[in-house]
Amino acid sequence: MDESFKNLPTSHLLGSVPAVINEEKEKSSTSYEAPGANMQIFPPTNGGDRGRGYQTLGSSTEGFEQQPANNWKGVFSISSYIQYFNVDTDIVLNRLLSSLYPIGGDFLSNIDANPDLYGLIWISTTLVFVLASLGNCATYLIQKHTDKGTSWSFNVSYMNVAAGSIYGYAAVVPLAFYFLLQYVGSNPSLVRFWCMWGYSLFIFVPASFLLLIPVEFLRWIIIITTGAASAGFVASNLKSSIEGGDLTILMVAAFVLQFALAVFIKVWFFP
């Protein structure tokens, strides 16, 4: 191309005027700052808090602390009792072994975070069937050992007596001590008491098998040892739950009741 065409003036051509930039406008647009967000919370207006209006996020929020969740949804709701069966096999085994030590006294403190009713129901039901079956078996062995000429018959009433005595004892006795301790100013937990008394019955399950030995003197030694161990377990743990005051009479009563249950088992089911 000829060099003369390159030097032609271009001011009369469209689009040849350069764009004018308003520097002040650009500065003002770039220096604009968005106002800071002021987050606010609106607490519920309950009771005496009516008319307080909203509060900023950094302001004091006394009186509006989150309340702990309550899992109790009514007596007839199954979901209310799920929390008392939230145990696995290892936990149950550890508690069963702990119930065999009569002088530990730390069972209630160990189950404080998670008391269960699984042990109460499972151990009581197991003991009912064990007493009913082994009681009949013991009478059969005694009869065959002493009088082989007479016929033996299964005693169905053992099941009724076992169910009434074991279930009644496991439910009523802890409830009675719960109300007694509340009356004297202590602050016991009914679920913890049911849990402790339920596991205290476990020692009678293996002892029932030993009571099949057809030697009366040895039977009494077994039941006295078992009753003393179970009663000591209950009394020592009950002592740890008493807050202030000397309530030895209650511990003695718990010991006597537990030992009386052992004697009742021997006399009625293994005569």
Name, in order, each residue with C-beta under 8 angstroms of 241's C-beta and a sequence gap of 6 or more: 108, 181, 186, 188, 192
Region 56-63 average pLDDT: 41
Name, in order, each residue with C-beta under 8 angstroms of 160's C-beta and a sequence gap of 6 or more: none
State the sign of the Cα–Cα–Cα–Cα dihedral 255, 258, 264, 266: negative
Q: Where are the beta strands (DSSP E) in the chain?
A: 40-41, 55-56
What tens digit of pLDDT does each residue of 108-141 get? 888 878 888 888 999 999 999 999 999 999 888 8
Using CA atoms, how far residue 16 sits from 5, 12, 13, 222, in Å, is 16, 8, 6, 116
Residue 74 has a pLDDT of 57
Region 218-239 average pLDDT: 93
Region 42-57 average pLDDT: 44
Residue 241 has a pLDDT of 73
The label of the residue with tokens 């005051």 reads 245
Q: Where are the domains of the chain?
A: 115-269
Of 266, 60, 59, whose CA–CA distance to 165 is shortest?
266
Q: Look up the pTM and report it.
A: 0.70
State the sign of the Cα–Cα–Cα–Cα dihedral 67, 184, 238, 125: negative
Does residue 234 have a pLDDT over 50?
Answer: yes
Residue 212 has a pLDDT of 92
The label of the residue with tokens 């009356």 reads 183
Band of the pLDDT at 265, cuts 50, 70, 90?
very high
Most confidently modeled of 19-23, 232-236, 248-252?
232-236
